[in-house]
Every structure is written in C-alpha cells, then in structure tokens.
Amino acid sequence: MMKVGFELVHANYNPNMIRSHMHETWDHYSNIITSLPFSAPTPSNLYPKPATENQCLNMGQNEVSDWMEEHIDDITKHLVEDLPETTSDSLVPNNTTRVSHHNLVPSLLPNLISERKASGFRPQFEAITNVHSGLDHSYNVCDQGLSLISLLMECAVAISVDNLGEAHRMLLELTQMASPYKASCGERVVAYFTKAMTCRVMNSWLGMCSPLLDHRNINSAFQVFNNVSPFIKFAHFTSNQAILEAVNHCDSIHIIDLDIMQGLQWPAFFHILATRMEGPPQVTMTCFGTSTELLVETGKQLSNFARRLGMSFKFHPIASKFGEVIDVSLLHVKPGEALAVHWLQHSLYDATGPDWKTLRLLEELEPRIITLVEQDVNHGGSFLDRFVGSLHYYSTLFDSLGAYLHFDDENRHRVEHALLSREINNVLAIGGPKRNGEDKFRQWRRELANHYFQQIPMSANSMAQAQLILNMFSPAYGYSLAQVDGTLRLGWKDTSLYTASAWTCCTSN
C-alpha cells in the first residue's frame, strides 16, 4: 500500500499555498529524468555529441580570464605598496595562487584593461599600466576599461583601511561610469561590484544589517540559472549519483538537505529509487529553508511526485538554519536509516548559520554520506581577501554567461541581477567576520578532512553524469570539467567554479 506523509515543523500548513508556477518547474524536471540515467553509460555513448552547435555569442566581448590571471600577483602587490607599513602586510590577499584545474582562484577582468590616455595617473594606476606594457596587443581594449578597474581596486583598498570618505568619492565616480546593461562583461561586473561596495560603505557608516530577501524571486532566478548554464545541473546529478551509490539496497533512506530551495534535484533521484529491482525504499527527507511558505510548496510537490511513483515518503520541513538546531531529535533521524546529508553551497544568504556549529552537528549525526558542492570563491578572511577572490570568481561567471547569451538577453539579466549581484553583495557588503561576528571556513573540504570525516572519491558514474550535463552545451561555450583528487570540478575555460565532493563519517558503515 502506497504511503506518503507530509509533516510540518515551525509552520502552519495551508494547502492553498501551492502556486501554479511550481508545476512548470517540476514538469520540466520530470521530462529530463529519462535523458540522464543514473548508471554508467556504455563506452559508445559516454560522451555524446552536443545537442546543438550554435555559434558562440559575444566572444569578442568575453575574453575576461587570461590577462588578470597572468598579472594578479603584480597588481595586488602594487595596490598595497602605497599604504602605510602598519597595514600593508595584513592587506595582501593570501588566495592569489595561479589558476588551473588544480587551483581555485578564478579570473579577473582583462577586457577592461587598456591604455588610459589621460593625465593624473594615481600610483596604483601607473603600476597596472606598467604591467600592461607587456600585454599581447591582440586584446581589443577600450580607454575607459583600465580607469574602471583601477578605480574599483583603489576603492577596495580604501575600504579595507576604513577610509570611507575617499571610498565614497570613488564609488560615486564608478556609479556614473559603469552600467550593468553594457555589452562588456567587465563593465557589468564593475557595476555590480560598485553597488555591493556602496552597500558596504553605507553599512559601515549606519550599522545596517543584511537587506530583506525575496526568496520567491531568488528561487525563480535560480531556476533560470539552472536552465541556461550547466552548473546547477552538475551539482544536482553528480550528488544524486554519489548518494545512490552510498545507499544502494537500503530499505530506509533519510536525506537531510541543508537548503532545499525548490527541490529541483530530487524528482530524478526519486525516479531511479522507484525503479529499483528490489522495489522502492522508504524515503524520509528533513529539509531546511528560510521561507516557511516555500518549504510547504516544495514538500507538497515532492509528496505528490512520490505518490505518483508509488513510493513511501515523509517530508519534514524546518524553517530555520541547520547550524542553529539545538536538539538533534528535531531532525527526525531514526535508528536503522541510511542517512545522507546534501549541501549545495551558495552566497545568496547564510543558509546554515555558524560554520563551527554546522560542523559539530554533522559530527554528531554521523551520516553515511555527505555530498558537498562548493563555489570556488573565498567567503572568509579580510575584506580585501574576499574582494580579490570574488572579483576573480564572478568575472569568470559573467564571462561564461556572456559566451552563451546575448548581452541584452532577458534571462541573462535576470541571473546577473537577481542571483550574481546578490551574491556579490553578500560576500562584500555583509559577509565576513566583521559583518556577522562569526568566522567563516575558507574551504569546507579541508575542514571535513580535519574533523572526523574521510573523502569518498567521486566515481566514474558521477563523472559520466557530469559529462552528460556538459555535453548539452557546445564546446565553443568554453565550459570545462576535471576530476582532481577525488573531486569533480566544473568551470569555464581553465578556471574552476564549482567543486563536487563526497564524504563519510569515519565510523559509518
């Protein structure tokens, strides 16, 4: 007898909360389930040809990676040379390692770099110009570009030493010079960084906290991002494959999703469980989120999907942060369940609370598997650390969108404005120890390895899943996939943007 349960924690359930637009999302995911099998493809179809070979758009506007990758160390050094000796040592970013598939510092804005034929060069600007003198002249650059990036970087240095008046003056100038609607990816990035740094200055002056979030708008834009790029699908399907391998043949499975959002990845997971030779297992999910209403919607959708598959399913939504759980019994984990924890990290908001509390709770739970998908961007450290790392990272993300979508594409604007801009603002204006009182881990993989967990190498089947996702996009769009040290890394050109890994508790069976 099919059984589907739906229980609500910290919320009042109202069946009328379900919105019609949710059905389109789930119907879309149901349609692609059969095209992405959770098994190892045969050698003949392991790497199928891309479905389309559309001409790559805007490539002349999007060569944003190579120049700053080559010269970031020199630029960072010159940026802090003119600061007082008492502050310069602490301001040199410590995450400026060379970029490759094996290193995780993304690229900066080379198409903004050019000769500025004007007087009044600042010392830092002269330093960048000197580095530029050795640049290959094949780069098509404009006079305004170097002025923008020079001013943005000087502004970051001013903020890092609390010279807020000078920073505000520079931000006013940048606001007039950079637009998020121009064809240049670099100028769009500068415009959004200017907005975030303006919020940072205002927060420092007024003591303001993080702005209110429209979670429905965020989730909608997240779905668009999933549709127009491979990154979210990569996170979903590689994690699903790793969980399936860990809980194979288990009769009772419990999944804890640390930030489920719309739950887009789970229909495909349910589908493969429902078709197991030994029959579907009992599945329980405990899912965290910041919006009670959206959690209820997601739970209803998952319950309805499980019902159609004839699968026994229970859903426990918790409108809170995982790291703020004070009693592990609230997670509804029962003896004998195969426990999996999934965490797709993002910078849209603080989804889990204090990192040290999140880690402590993971240790207490002793899950059979943790699937972790990290953005390869620095969330911790000083402001200048976060500025340099995030400028590398988001310029590359903007480039990847520009290589695939026209500069005035509505979906591209939606992703950049509703998602990427919000992430930039959270990392620079809100994130960091001085903003929330809690230090953030620089890399969760390192923390797990140092605290009672051991890595499970991502399997050949997970790699096949990632390759199938990547093959939906023409090679001309520049996406790259690498398997490094047991992880899977998806990026753009030679810059890693998302890293998927799997972990298990040392005492788990």
Provide the pLDDT confidence category of residue 207 given band limits of 50, 70 and 90: low
Per residue in 394-437, pLDDT tens? 999 999 999 989 999 999 999 999 999 999 998 887 654 344 44
Q: Are the C-beta atoms of residues 355 and 389 closer than 8 Å to each other? A: no
Mean pLDDT, the chain, integer: 76
Q: Mean pLDDT over residues 101-118, rounded?
A: 32
pLDDT of residue 208: 62
Amino acid at the residue 120: G
Q: What is the pTM of this model?
A: 0.77
Mean pLDDT of 236-245: 96
How far lies 354's CA from each of 289, 424, 434, in Å? 15, 20, 14
Strand partners, 255: 285, 340
**What is the mean pLDDT of the segment spanning 257-268?**
94
Higher local confidence (pLDDT), 338 or 46: 338
- pLDDT band with cut points at 50, 70 and 90 for residue 1: very low
- 136-145 pLDDT, tens digit per residue, is 333 444 456 6
Distance of CA 88 to the CA centre of its chain: 30
- pLDDT, residue 443, reads 80
- pLDDT given at position 495: 93
Q: Provide the percentage of residues in the chain whose pLDDT is more than 70.
A: 68
How far apart (Å, rounded) are the C-alpha atoms in residues 249 and 278? 8
| pLDDT on residue 32 | 44
Instruction: Please check whether residue 416 is in contact with residue 398, taking contact to mean a CB–CB distance below 8 angstroms.
Output: yes
Looking at residue 204, what is its pLDDT?
79
Lowest mean pLDDT among 6-10, 189-193, 398-402: 6-10
pLDDT band at residue 186 using 50, 70 and 90 as cut-offs: confident
- Inter-residue contact 298 to 263 (CB < 8 Å): yes
Give the single-character DSSP code of 340.
Answer: E
Class of residue 254 by CB neighbours under 10 A (exposed 0-12, middle 13-18, buried 19+): buried
As a whole number of angstroms, the distance between CA 472 and CA 234 comes to 11
Tokens of 114: 């050019």
272, 36 Cβ separation under 8 angstroms: no
Q: b vs e for 381-392, b when ≥16 Cβ sit within 10 Å of the residue's Cβ?
A: bbbbbbbbbbbb
Q: Which residue would you say has higher pLDDT here, 30 or 100?
A: 30
Residue 425, helix vs strand vs coil:
helix
Tens-digit pLDDT profile for residues 330-363: 999 999 999 999 999 999 988 998 888 999 999 9
The single residue listed with the structure tokens 């589907």 is: 4
Between CA 200 and CA 425 the distance in angstroms is 8
CA distance 145 to 185: 11
Question: What is the three-class DSSP state of 344?
Answer: strand
Has residue 99 got a pLDDT over 70?
no
**Largest separation between any pair of C-alpha atoms in the chain:** 80
